[in-house]
Structure 1
Amino acid sequence: MDIDYKALAKKYGTPLYMYDFDYIEHRYNDLKEAFAGKKSLINYAVKANSNLSVIAHLAKLGAGADCVSIGEVRRALDAGVKKYNIIFSGVGKRDDEIREALEKDILMLNLESEAEMKRVEMIAKELGKEARISIRVNPNIDPQTHPYISTGLHENKFGVEIDMAKRMYIYANKSEYLNPVGIHFHIGSQLTKLDPIRESAQIVADLVRSLKAIKIDIKFFDVGGGIGVVYSDEITIPVRDYAEAIFDATKGLDVTLLCEPGRYMVANAGAFFTSVLYEKVNAGKRFVIVDGGMNDLIRPSLYDAYHKIDAVMVEGEKSFADVVGPVCESGDFFGKNVLLPPLQHNDLLVVHSAGAYGFTMASNYNTRPKPAEVALEAGKDRLIRRRESYEDQIRLEKEFLHRDQ
C-alpha cells in the first residue's frame, strides 16, 4: 500500500502510531493456510498490540487470543473474540484473576508452576467448577534470541521442567476440579532459527505421547509464538516450514494445534510518526531532536532494538545523526548513527516496524500524553484511539488533591 505519511501526520498530529489492517489480514491468512488440513487455532498474542480495533479485526478473521492478564482477557471478549478461543497465560496470576477467568469460562488457563495449579484447584473448588488447564513446559532449548525475550531455558522464570510437568498432569488428572486439556511451550520471541522450535516441539510431543499412554488425554498442543520478523536484514522462518516442523513433531497425535503469534502479525504493519523539533551539534556529534520519546516507543532504549528510520520527502546529502526525544533520560533515543539528510523544524520522520510492543509498552513518563493510533484499511484511514490529554492523565489523582489540607 502506498501511504501518504505527510497527510496522516497533518490530519492526526504527531507523535502518532499507524497500523495497516490489510497487512495484518494478509499475515493471518498466510499462517492459517500454513496450518490448513490440520485442526488448528491461531491465538493472537494480545500483549503485542492490545488496541481493541486490532483485536476485533483479527477476531472477525477467526482468531482467538492469548492473554497474560485478566485485563487482556476482558479486551479480547470486548473485541468479539469467542470465549472458547481465549487462553489465559502468565507466570503470576492473582486469585481474583483466576476466579474471573473461571467464571468467564474461557478455553483454558495456562499454568506455570505447581503452586499455581494448587491455587487454581482451590478456587475452582470454591466456585464448584472444573478448571480446564494446560501446563507450560520448559524444554530447556536455547532460542538463540535476545536474552530479555528468551523464555525456554531453565534460567528463565517461565514454565516447569519435563518431570515436574508430568507429575502435575498426573495430579490434575486425578483432581475433581482440574481438567488437563492442553500442553504449552514458548521458548522466546523474535526467533529466526527453526531448529530450536523443532527440537522443543519434539520434546513436548514426546511428553504428550507418554501422557496419553497413561490415559491423560491432551487435546490442545500449543506451540506458543515468537516467529521473528524483519527489522533490518534478518532472515526469517518461512511459515510453511514452521508449520511442517510442528506437523512432523506431532505426527500420530490427535490434537488441535495452537500457535500464539503477536509480533509476526503486527510488527511490520505499524509505523511511528514523529516530527523534528530541531537539530543540534555537540563537539561534532549531530543530534536530531523529535517530539516523540522513549515513553512512546521504548524498544530501542530497553532492548537496544533497531528500527529503520526514514525522513519523509526531504532531500540533501546524508550524514550520521542520533535521533533523540525530549524525555530527560540519556537512554531516550530511537536510533543512533542514522543516515539522514539535513532536517528542519516540522520535517517528518517515520520509525518503521513499530506495530508490536510499541504503543502497548507506552507510558506517561515525564507527564507526556500517549499518542493517537490510526488504522489504514482498504485505502481509508480512521482513528482507533484518540491522543491522551493532560486531563486523562490526572483523572485518577485529581479528586484526592488537597484532601488532607
Structure 2
Amino acid sequence: MEAFHYRAAQFFCEEVAIASIAERYGTPTYVYSQARILDNFRRITQGLRQVPSLVCYSVKANSNLKILKILREAGAGFDIVSGGELARVCKVGADPDRIVFSGVGKTAAEVDAGLEASILMFNVESAGELELIESRSRHRASGGPDQGHGGSSGREPAGRAGKPAGISVRINPDVAAQTHPYISTGQTIHKFGVPKEEAIELYRRAAASPYLKVRGVACHIGSQILAVEPFLKALDEIFGVAERLRAHGVEVEFLDIGGGFGIRYAHEQPLDVERLTREIESRLRGTPYRLVLEPGRSVVGDAGILVTRVLYVKRNPAKNFIVTDAGMNDLMRPALYGSYHEIVPVEQGRAERPDAGHPPCPEEKLRADVVGPLCETGDFLARDREIGQVRAGDLLAILTAGAYGCVLASNYNSRPRPA
C-alpha cells in the first residue's frame, strides 16, 4: 500500500485520515509516514550488503526529533552541519561513533561540542578549519588557555583527556552535479570543499599532529541529483586521493561520497539507487575502505506532506488565485527554487457538492496560482496549476514536502510555524 493514498474519496497517510489530523492539529501542518521513511532508508542500506558501510542520515533535510529517533532505531548514523543538529541527534541517543560533522562554517563552540561528544569525524572544508580543530583538540588535551576562533562558548570543555579529533577533508572534485545551481556544491566555483592538491597537504599536516586522526576522504557534489554518473566520478576522485595518501603512509578508513540522491517531484525519473549501489559495490569490494553515504531527501522527501486549508478562491481577469493558509513561510522551496510540488484535494469531489455559503467553482478544472497569505508577490506554492474544483474551507495536500520543508519554515509576517 502507498504511504499516501485515497480511500473512499478521503486522503490517508497509512491508516490515518488526513482530514482528522487537520481537525485535531489545525493547518498548516506537516504529516509524515513512518513506513515510507523506513522503506526508503532500507532501500539504500540493503543495496550495500557486500561493502562495509555507514549510512548517515543528513539531518538538515528534516530534523524532526521523532524522525531522528525512528532512523536511529533503524541503524542510521547522522550527518550534521551545526551544533544545534548535534544537540538534536544526541537527544535521541545517537551513537557518537556514527556522527559526521559537515559544514563550511563551524565555530569554535561547535568544534568543542563535537569533541566533547567524541564524534566519528569532522569533514574539514579549509586550512583554517583544520587549524581550529587541532587547536581545540590540543586545548582539551593540555588544559591550556582558549586558543579558539570567534564563536567559542568561553567555558572549559569537559573530558580533556579525550581521543584525538577524527578528521576527513572534503575534496572538491570539480564534478558537475547536473542539478539546480543553488544546490550544486562540487565544483571549483562553489564555496565548499578543498582542491585535491591542497587537500593532500592538509592530510600531511593532520597525520603529523598528535591531536588529529585521519579517518577518511570526503566529498559532496550537490543535491537532487538524478544521474548515477556524477556520483561515480566523485567516488573515483576521492578513491584516487585515498590511494595517494596510503602510498605515503597515511591510513584512510572511510570514503564519504555525501548524499544528494534525487527523487521524483513531478515527472522526472528519480535516481536509480539500486544501480548506484551496485556500481559502488563493484568499485569498493575487496578494498580496505568503508563507505559513508549521507542521504537526506531520498529518505524523507516523499514521506511527508503539507496540509493546508483554502481561505479564498479569487478570480481576476488575467489570473485566478487559490489563497491558502500555508505560504512560503511554511514551504519555501517553490519560492526559493521554483520547485514543483503536486497538490491534491484531501477530499475528492467535495467542491462539486452544493453549499449555500460557498458555491462550487463553475469550471470543471480551475487553473490558478496557489498562493499563501504573506505580503509578498513571491509567496506561492504553485503557478498556473490545474487543481480542479475547490472552494473556501477545502483541505489540500502538498506532496513530497518531507525534505527541506518544515526545516526552512519561518515566522515571517509574525505568523506561527506549521504544526
For 1:138, which of 155, 172, 184 is the aligned residue?
172
Task: Output the amino acid matched with 2:89.
Answer: A
Asked if residue 248 in structure 1 is aligned to residue 282 in structure 2, the reply is: yes
1:212-223 aligned within 5 A: 212-223=246-257
Question: Which segments of 5 or more consecutive residues in structure 1 lack a partner in the other structure?
Answer: 373-405
Cα distance in 2, alignment partners of residues 173 and 155 from structure 1: 28
What is the root-mean-square deviation in Å for CA atoms of aligned residues?
1.1
Partner of 2:56: 43
Deviation at 1:88, TM superposition (A): 0.7
Match of 1:348 among 375, 383, 395: 395
TM-score, reference length from structure 1 = 0.90
Scaled by the length of structure 2, the TM-score of the pair is 0.87
Deviations 1:320-346 (A, max 9, x none): 100000011111000011102232211
Q: Residue in 1 aligned with 2:36?
A: 23
**Counterpart AA for 2:225:** L
Pairing 1:105–2:118 present? yes
Aligned position for 2:188: 154
Match of 1:96 in 2: 109
1:198/1:249 contact within 8 Å kept: no
Quote the offset at 1:314 in angstroms.
4.2
| 1:145 aligned counterpart, secondary structure | coil
Match for residue 225 of structure 1 among 252, 256, 259: 259
Report the equivalent of 1:177. Answer: 211
- SS at 1:91's partner residue? coil
Q: Spell out, residue by residue over 1:262-297, the C-alpha distance to the aligned partner (whole angstroms, 9 max, x if none).
A: 000000000000000011112231000000111010
> Could you tell me how far 1:106 is from its partner in structure 2?
0.8
2:332 counterpart (253, 277, 298): 298
Q: Which secondary structure state, in structure 1, belongs to the residue aligned with residue 265 of structure 2? A: coil
Structure 2: where are the runs of 5+ without partners? 6-11, 142-161, 353-363
**Partners of 1:193 and 1:203 in 2: CA distance:** 17
Paired residue secondary structure (2:232): helix
CA contact (8 A) 2:220 2:257 kept: yes
Q: Is 1:308 aligned to residue 308 of structure 2?
A: no
Q: Does 1:61 align with 2:74?
A: yes
Whether the 8 Å contact between 1:87 and 1:106 is mirrored in structure 2 is: yes
Query: Cα distance, 1:5 vs. partner?
Result: 2.1
Partners of 2:174 and 2:188 within 8 A in 1: yes
Q: CA deviation at 1:251?
A: 4.7
Supply the distance in 2 between the matched residues of 1:285 and 1:23 (Cα, whole angstroms). 37
CA distance in 1, matches of 2:113, 2:103: 15
Is 1:321 aligned with 2:355? Answer: no
Bigger CA drift: 126-135 or 220-229?
A: 126-135
Where do 1:199-278 residues align within 5 Å? 199-278=233-312
Q: Secondary structure at the match of 1:103?
A: helix
In structure 2, how many angstroms separate the alpha carbons of the residues matched to 1:236 and 1:198?
16
2:229 to 195, 201, 210: 195
> 2:217·2:241 contact (CA, 8 Å) conserved in 1?
no
Shift in Å, 1:126: 0.8
Moved more, 126-135 or 18-27: 126-135
Q: Shift in Å at residue 236 of structure 1?
A: 1.8
Q: Report the CA distance between 1:195 and its aligned residue.
A: 0.9
Are the aligned partners of 1:202 and 1:250 in contact in 2 as well (CA < 8 Å)? no
Q: Does 1:338 align with 2:372?
A: no
Letter aligned with residue 146 of structure 1: H
AA paired with 2:171? V
The farther-off stretch of 139-148 and 306-315 is: 306-315
Q: Tell me the equivalent position of 1:82.
A: 95
TM alignment of 1:354-369, pairs within 5 A: 354-369=401-416
2:133 alignment counterpart: 120
User: In the aligned structure 2, how far is the partner of 1:245 from the partner of 1:91?
Assistant: 29
Once residues 149 and 364 of structure 1 are traced to their aligned partners in structure 2, the CA distance between those partners, rounded to angstroms, is 24
**Other-structure match for 1:73:** 86
| Amino acid corresponding to residue 312 of structure 1 in structure 2 | V
User: 1:190–1:228: 8 Å Cα contact kept in structure 2?
Assistant: yes
User: Matches of 1:52 and 1:251 in 2, distance apart?
Assistant: 35
SS in 2 for 1:343: coil
Structure 2 counterpart of 1:354, one-letter code: A
2:282 is paired with a residue of what secondary structure? helix
Cα distance in 2 for residues equivalent to 1:50 and 1:203 = 31
What SS does the aligned partner of 2:54 have? strand
Matched residue SS, 1:221:
strand
